[in-house]
Amino acid sequence: MRIKLFPTLCCSSLLLLAICPAGVDAMPVLMNSSLTGPVATGTVPPDWFLWQKTPDTVDATGPFNNTGVNWTLSPNGGTFVRAGGSDFPNSEAFAQNVTGLTIGATYQVTFHQTNLGFENPTSGAWNGEDGFWELVVDGLSSDTSTTLSKQAVATNPIVWTGGTMSFVAPNTTAELAFVSRAVGTSGLAAYMGIDGIRIQPIPEPTAIVLLCFSLAALAAKRR
């Protein structure tokens, strides 16, 4: 009896392991998600580090508030990060090593984003590019946000919208870099703002979870 049952149990367990995704019990730890810190050029808020070039920590008065209107803060308030995006190697980026991840689990990153544009302080020309944010996880490009156009004219208000990107955790701790990027190849940068970053595990699709429950129940019954 024992000898006969063993292969069945063994197979059920293997099947469960193969089909059922790893449970996500832990919540990822993202420090200073509100990007709050002293206003400064070429500096990112506490708990974050410069990943490439020199993004800035700014508030509604700048620095680099080269726009025809006053800047507005994101719904998250406080300071936010402004970064000039261009082709990848010339884009400004900042990062944090996020802990508490489950290997192989998918995470959704949500945030507030805006395209600030850039009014040339000397000529008054309305420069800047359409831009987006790119998420690089442990050196691997994982996702991009929707593209935001710069305001049509310099005097249009600064608008914040919700952004979403996702990634699969390669390790329990992973380096998440947020890279400002420009769409065009004009050589001008897209001046992107970001604030209020949140990371949450994406729940497994209901169908797979139900299948796993059924298989687990079946295995228990046989046992």
Ligand X SMILES: *[C@@H]1O[C@H](CO)[C@@H](O)[C@H](O)[C@H]1NC(C)=O
User: Residue numbers of the site for ligand X (CB under 6 A)?
Assistant: 31-34, 36-37, 45-47, 49, 61-63, 65, 70, 97, 171, 173, 175
Contact 104, 21 (CB under 8 A): yes
CB of 111 to ligand X, least distance (A): 14
Closer residue to ligand X, CB minimum distance, 166 or 173:
173
Closer residue to ligand X, CB minimum distance, 143 or 175:
175
Closer residue to ligand X, CB minimum distance, 66 or 182:
66
From CA 124, how far away is CA 20, in angstroms rounded? 58
Contact 180, 84 (CB under 8 A): yes
Closer residue to ligand X, CB minimum distance, 157 or 187:
157
CB of 81 to ligand X, least distance (A): 12
Residue nearest ligand X, Cβ-based: 32
From CA 120, how far away is CA 163, in angstroms rounded? 27
CB of 144 to ligand X, least distance (A): 21
Q: Which residues of 80-105 are buried (b: 16+ CB within 10 A; e: fewer)?
A: bbbbbbbeeeebbbbbbebeebbeeb
Contact 28, 41 (CB under 8 A): no
CB of 212 to ligand X, least distance (A): 27
